[in-house]
């Protein structure tokens, strides 16, 4: 029996490589898109450590060009669309993020529809859920919530929101015959596979290197990358109706909640990791000269509360807690010699 082929866009990314391993290890052929042959060699070498790559095919395609997408989608049983820029800080020109995110998502979706691919899973984000709401909101965020545009919405948050909206609106307007779902991860922790550490890995590395003496009082919805990879497979295979929106969150955690299990698990390797929270007024002072700190001032002390019980029930999934996912990322950084 021929194994079904799943296209994974942007397969060189942190989450995408974990998705490739999940799919390869569950009986799928994987076709992944990269933007260069050099990147393809790196991806293949990494994935070969965790899965049988005889069922892996890598092809060139770019979100900003039509070339290659028809061939990439041809004969596919499903698409996991993960390709999208994810910066540490917002660019000066928001279109650097918004254009490839929105245009790229529609380009891949249209190619999948034209190729009669039956299933499409888009990787969105919880930033498409949380933004623009009142700071004093007491009710939990759910799968039904959407980011509301406003002056405090950054380019990355806007790009993920608009990209998911664009895909959903296109399917509503056209009535295209394709089963669609989105996976909306929180702050993604868990083991890194190679030197391409991504934005979340960079944050944990900064703390391992002792860049900050203490933790800012910031709350994040967190999740393990292995659970997000599983969610993509389950969303692709689900018998739930088309249009599902699945929030990938194990719970909310303050930065200090991430640092404590890292210090406990890594011991001497985590000696520079802070063990206390900085007062908010100190972060505000630092923000006068540090752009990264300036970007978090508005969220200091604000706890994010998410209820994704619908996602858990629909996909039949439980999540690893931050006490497992945070040390796993820190350990992998140390093991890879990246600290």
Catalytic residue numbers, as ranges:
160
Going by the DSSP 8-state scheme, the letter that residue 269 receives in this structure is: G
- CA proximity to 56, closest of 45, 67, 66, 65: 45
Beta strands 5-9 and 187-189, pairing class: unpaired
Beta carbons of 194 and 16 less than 8 angstroms apart: no
CA-CA-CA-CA torsion for 315, 259, 211, 284, nearest 10 degrees?
80
**In 115-224, alpha helices (H):** 127-130, 155-174, 198-208
Q: Residue 185 and residue 246: Cα distance in Å, rounded? A: 8
The phi, psi pair for 101, rounded to 5°, reads -70, -50
Q: Residue 210 and residue 229: Cα distance in Å, rounded? A: 30
The phi, psi pair for 67, rounded to 5°, reads -55, 130
Measuring CA to CA, how many Å separate 246 from each of 39, 95, 151, 243?
30, 27, 27, 10
Tokens of 65: 């060009």
The phi, psi pair for 59, rounded to 5°, reads -130, 155
- CA proximity to 148, closest of 158, 139, 156, 140: 158
Q: Is 135 exposed, middle or buried (0-12, 13-18, 19+ CB in 10 A)?
A: exposed
């Amino acid at each position: 029996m021929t194994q079904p082929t799943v296209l994974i866009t942007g397969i060189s990314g942190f989450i995408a490589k974990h998705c490739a391993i999940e799919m390869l290890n569950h009986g799928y052929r994987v076709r992944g898109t990269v933007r260069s042959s050099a990147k393809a060699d790196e991806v293949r070498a990494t994935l070969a450590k965790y899965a049988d790559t005889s069922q892996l095919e890598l092809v060139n395609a770019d979100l900003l060009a039509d070339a290659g997408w028809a061939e990439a989608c041809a004969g596919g049983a499903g698409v996991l669309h993960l390709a999208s820029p994810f910066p540490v800080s917002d660019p000066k020109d928001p279109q650097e993020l918004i254009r490839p995110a929105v245009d790229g998502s529609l380009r891949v979706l249209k190619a999948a529809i034209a190729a009669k691919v039956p299933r499409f899973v888009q990787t969105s984000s919880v930033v498409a859920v949380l933004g623009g709401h009142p700071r004093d909101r007491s009710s939990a965020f759910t799968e039904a919530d959407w980011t509301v545009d406003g002056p405090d919405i950054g380019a990355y948050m806007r790009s993920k929101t608009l990209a998911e909206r664009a895909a959903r609106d296109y399917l509503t307007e056209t009535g295209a015959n394709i089963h669609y779902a989105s996976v909306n991860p929180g702050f993604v922790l868990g083991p890194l596979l190679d030197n391409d550490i991504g934005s979340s890995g960079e944050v944990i590395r900064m703390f391992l290197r002792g860049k900050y003496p203490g933790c800012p009082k910031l709350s994040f919805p967190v999740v393990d990358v292995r659970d997000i990879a599983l969610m993509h497979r389950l969303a692709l295979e689900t018998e739930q109706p088309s249009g599902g929106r699945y929030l990938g969150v194990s719970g909310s955690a303050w930065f200090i909640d991430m640092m404590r299990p890292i210090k406990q698990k890594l011991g001497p390797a985590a000696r520079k990791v802070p063990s206390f929270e900085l007062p908010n007024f100190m972060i505000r002072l630092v923000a006068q000269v540090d752009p990264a700190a300036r970007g978090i001032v508005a969220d200091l002390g604000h706890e994010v509360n998410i209820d994704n019980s619908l996602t858990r029930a629909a996909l039949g999934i439980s999540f690893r807690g931050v006490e497992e996912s945070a040390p796993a990322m820190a350990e992998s950084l140390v093991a890879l010699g990246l600290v």
